[in-house]
Amino acid sequence: MDILIIYQFCTLGGVERVILNRAKAFKKHAQDVHISVCYLEDYGALRSFREYIRLNSLDEQINAVLIDDKLFSNLEKYDFVFIIDTPQMFEHTQDAKNIFVECHTPYIQNRQYLKDLPSNVRGILVPSLAFKNILLREFSTLPPVFVLPNLVAEEFFSIPLEKNFIYPKRPLAYLARLDELKNYIEALDIFELFAQAENVMFAIAGNPINLSQRRFLTLLREKGILGKTFLRYGVGFNAVPDFIRLVKSHRGIFISPSLGESFGLSAAEFMSAGIPVMLSDIDAHRELVNMDGQFLYKSHDILSAKNKIVSMLENWDSVSSIITSYAQKFTANSFISSWQEFINHQDVASEINTH
pLDDT the model gives residue 233: 86
Q: What's this model's pTM, rounded to 2 decimal places?
A: 0.94
Residues 61 and 191 in one domain: no
- pLDDT tens-digit profile of 61-108? 999 999 998 899 889 999 999 999 999 999 999 999 999 999 999 999
202 and 341 belong to one structural domain? no
Same domain, yes or no: 186 and 326: yes
Any idea what the CATH number is for the domain that residue 43 is in? 3.40.50.2000
Which residues form the domain of 214? 154-330
Total Cβ atoms within 10 A of residue 225: 21
Does 40 have pLDDT greater than 50?
Answer: yes
pLDDT, one tens digit per residue, over 171-224 is 999 999 999 999 999 999 999 999 999 999 999 998 887 778 889 999 999 999
For residues 189 and 90, membership in a common domain is answered with no
Residues 6 and 79 occupy one common structural domain: yes
Residues in the chain: 355
Mean pLDDT calculated for residue range 221-230: 96
- Could you tell me if 72 and 204 lie in one domain? no
* 164 — pLDDT class (breaks 50, 70, 90): confident
Same domain, 179 and 134: no
pLDDT at 355: 43
Angle between helices 302-314 and 184-192 (to 10 degrees): 60
- 41: enclosing H helix or E strand: strand 34-42
3-state secondary structure of 42: strand
When pLDDT is cut at 50, 70 and 90, the band that residue 310 belongs to is: very high
Overall domain count for the chain: 2
Order of all β-strands in the sheet with 99-102: 62-66, 34-42, 2-10, 80-84, 99-102, 121-126, 145-147
Q: Are residues 199 and 69 in the same domain?
A: no
pLDDT at 236 over 90: no
Q: Are residues 103 and 184 in the same domain?
A: no
Co-location of 123 and 200 in the same domain = no
Residues 229, 285, single domain; the answer is: yes
pLDDT at 20: 97
Looking at the fold, whether 221 and 160 belong to one and the same domain comes out as yes
